[in-house]
Amino acid sequence: MAGPDRKPTIIDVARLAGASIKTVSRVINKERYVSPDMQERIEKAVAELGYQPNMMARSLASERSNLIGHLYGDAGGPYTLEIQVGLLNRCRDHGYHLMIEEIDYRSPNVEQRASAIVNQMRLDGVVLTAPVTDNPVVLRILEDAGVPYVRVTPQQESETSPSVRIDERQAAYTLTQHLLALGHRRIGFIKGKANHTATILRYTGYCQALTDAGVAVDPVLVEQGEFTYASAVPCARRLLDQHNRPTAIFASNDEMAAAVVAEAHNRSFSLPAQLSVVGFDDTPLAEMMWPPLTTVRQPVREMAEAAADILIGLLSQRGKVDWPKPVPHQVLAHTILLRQSTARPPVKG
Amino acid sequence: MAGPDRKPTIIDVARLAGASIKTVSRVINKERYVSPDMQERIEKAVAELGYQPNMMARSLASERSNLIGHLYGDAGGPYTLEIQVGLLNRCRDHGYHLMIEEIDYRSPNVEQRASAIVNQMRLDGVVLTAPVTDNPVVLRILEDAGVPYVRVTPQQESETSPSVRIDERQAAYTLTQHLLALGHRRIGFIKGKANHTATILRYTGYCQALTDAGVAVDPVLVEQGEFTYASAVPCARRLLDQHNRPTAIFASNDEMAAAVVAEAHNRSFSLPAQLSVVGFDDTPLAEMMWPPLTTVRQPVREMAEAAADILIGLLSQRGKVDWPKPVPHQVLAHTILLRQSTARPPVKG
DNA sequence: AGGGGAAATGACAGCGGTGCCATCGCCCCC
DNA sequence: GGGGGCGATGGCACCGCTGTCATTTCCCCT
């Protein structure tokens, strides 16, 4: 068996099938106007040669890369992974590939880096998650490049790009209400990282629930964390050290809630009898810790899938409309998960 | 301001700098043989136009995609994410981009899918993690395509591809020794998912440590889990239900250890006094649970970085040698982390 | 019978770079 | 003084595919 050993190209297929390159191209791209007979011959040739179209060549000629980028800031935790799984699910089904890029949003050359990613790779579309979602530099670059993008959990909805989110404020509100309903009045709060959208929204929900219930927001009960376990340890300590300490603590995510729980265990509190704790996100951790954590589940994967769907939908009608107006903004449903980390407050002694 | 509004190409740069396309190409690629004067002119033109080379065109012409793929099987947990962070760190520094693809290794069309990923995208190199690491179909496809790949934690080292791992067997051995040294004799074990390499190695280490200490491996104390919390709950239950129950349990990963801990809490055991528990991997969970878990830390991120380094090193000398012989196999150091989930067994009553 | 249009196919020029080879000036050295 | 070698530059084919337009055939309608 002699013959060329290199990968077969569209030319080889055309030759074998006795068709023109262009017609083969049509079959590959499932375009119309190919007779059943011809189609079959070409498909047979493709199979026989094991032909696989070269994406690079395809992209170059068609100006479509079939690449979707996921830009994110902090690699942190299960969240990012869930997002990726969701995106991947959709990409797979629609012939797109996922390219992931971390952007150090604090670095002075975000601009250069973001631009390089978007422009060099010729990404067809981009999904943004926190905290890049709200980075004006990145957004501008995307706008300038004319690359469609979808933002997951944006600070505020924009008229130029779609978004997907849950109502975080409402979720925090409800969760706080739950604590209030149990009878808690002194409810501690640990905030998340300063520049994240979620931080603000969750805190707002907490405040509003208190206010609506006629309970004043006591600044002594509010601590500033950074969404990490370590950052929350001192917060928990300070809260529990108080003479008139809170009977419940709302941590802005599960990880920080775990720190509170650990600190409570350290002091041999029995949970939830002596202290109620709630988190946010329903990370795997939440049900693996003891006691299982009351928290709110964000359908992260579904959000990513929704984002991908929007993006892919957009891309498929490229050239017709730039954006459907108004651009879609999806709000997905969250779920409050009542587990065993919350209970009525201890009776005053 | 008239002028073309589309993205500048190498031609525009050449024109502006008064050089040939080829010379611009040389500057972009940092090749030798360009005079300082010329170099400066071209760099200025590049800056002025905001020129960004088109990766697609570049790849097509040079047969190098600058793309590294990460193929994995189960999206599970922090492990995958850490791997990605490690890979990303290196890719960023060396001008590569990371493309992630999940492969459903159980599906009948793994072959087709893997082949599509590798061949269509023209990946320059690939990093494999469990359980794809040992999938013969995928390995063959990579070999056939002549794409260099590095395997993270392979079942066994191969002569055709480099690998990176820790000595899992040894780690499990040492961890078991730790329990033995504390005085435990009845040590339960929960195995991981059947087709993962780690499952076998960890179990082997456990068995060997017992045997070396003159303790027989009791099949009644060995349960089959799947690396998930849920899968380990019934295992934990069965182990703790036994009349002569184990005084310590070795779970093949932290998540399953968390299940054991939860089940113990459920029965109001005090830990570690009544039951010692150890895990494996040192996921974030390990130090967030209560009591903090004794486990072994795999330097996952570093492993990924090492894998990327090997791969990139290889790629940079493409065309010279196919593989350095013998191919590198790195074994990174693990760390046994003694935390508060282990203690001497309770004194017999 | 002739005109019009849809279906089916092909020819060919790029897309934006890189690889290979040719060219040119210049210095070194016998 | 002429051959040899190296630094510096440019010309051009080509990577593998798609977009555009032309062409051919065939069928329907007036």
Contact B191, B249 (CB under 8 A): no
Contact A221, A247 (CB under 8 A): no
Sign for the CA dihedral angle at A114, A118, A121, A125 comes to positive
Q: Is the Cβ atom of A295 within 7 Å of strand C at any atom?
A: no
Of residues B321 and B171, which shows the higher confidence score? B171
Residue B60 has pLDDT above 60, yes or no: yes
Closest CA to A253 of A220, A275, A231: A231
Beta strand extents in A29-133 (DSSP E only) = 67-72, 97-102, 125-128
Interface check A313 vs B, CB under 8 A: no
- H or E element, residue B302: helix B300-316
Q: Is the Cβ atom of B119 within 7 Å of strand C at any atom?
A: no
Q: Which two tokens stand for residue B174?
A: 């040492």
| pTM confidence score | 0.89
**What residue type is assigned to position A298 of the chain?**
Q
Question: Which residues in chain A have their CB less than 8 angstroms from residue B84's CB?
Answer: 75, 100
Provide the positions of strand C that have an atom within 7 A of a protein CB: 7-12, 14-20
How distant is C1' of D29 from CA of A34, in Å?
25
Q: How many CB atoms lie within 10 A of CB A228?
A: 18
Q: Which residues contact B339 (CB under 8 A, 6 or more apart)?
A: B286, B287, B291, B292, B293, B294, B295
Write the pLDDT tens digit of every residue in A61-119. 999 999 999 999 877 678 888 999 999 999 999 989 999 998 888 888 889 899 999 99
Q: How far is CA B242 from the centre of its chain?
A: 37
Interface check B85 vs A, CB under 8 A: yes
Strand partners, A127: A70, A150
* Mean pLDDT of chain A, nearest integer: 91
Q: Please answer yes or no on whether A122 and B55 come within 8 Å at the CB atom.
A: yes
Write the pLDDT tens digit of every residue in B266-322. 999 999 999 999 999 998 899 999 899 999 999 999 999 999 999 999 888 765 555
Angle between helices B254-266 and B229-241 (to 10 degrees): 50
* Mean pLDDT of chain B, nearest integer: 91
State percent of chain A over pLDDT 70: 95
Q: Kindly indicate the confidence band of residue B74, based on its pLDDT and cuts at 50, 70 and 90.
A: confident
**Which segments of B69-159 does DSSP mark as H helices, in order?**
77-94, 110-115, 121, 136-145
